[in-house]
Amino acid sequence: DQQVKQNSPSLSVQEGRISILNCDYTNSMFDYFLWYKKYPAEGPTFLISISSIKDKNEDGRFTVFLNKSAKHLSLHIVPSQPGDSAVYFCAASAGGFQKLVFGTGTRLLVSP
């Protein structure tokens, strides 16, 4: 049972445009959400997170939106840069200090 889903395995965007990565979840107990970026043969790098008490969190070029009623979150990267090309994982946890459940990842390719 995949509790966190990233339905788009890949996304291609031109440099300077907006990248929108989507994530859906099924467990209504999830109350903390994170986005990680991962390069091949490396560990994930934390990007940004959001608590369920918020619907938006912004950090530089990265913004995460949370729609609790739809059980959906998205990561916006603007402007996209070639260095953003990587696999992006969303993750969720429930009830504080609990394990993270990861999505399957979306491979982002930003072309010059």
32 binds another protein (CB under 8 A): yes
C-beta separation of 70 from 56 below 8 A:
no
Q: Does 34 bind another protein (CB under 8 A)?
A: yes
Nearer CB in complex with another protein: 14/85: 85
Asked whether 23 and 90 are in contact (CB, 8 A), the reply is yes
Instruction: Select the residue interacting with another protein from 17, 28, 29, 46 (CB under 8 A).
Output: 46
CA dist 61 and 84 (Å) reads 11
Three-state SS at 84:
helix
64 touching another protein, by CB under 8 A? no
Residues 83, 64: Cα–Cα separation, whole Å = 19
Is residue 1 a contact point for another protein (CB under 8 A)?
no
Q: Which residues bind another protein (CB under 8 A)?
A: 32, 34, 36, 41-46, 49, 89, 93, 96-105
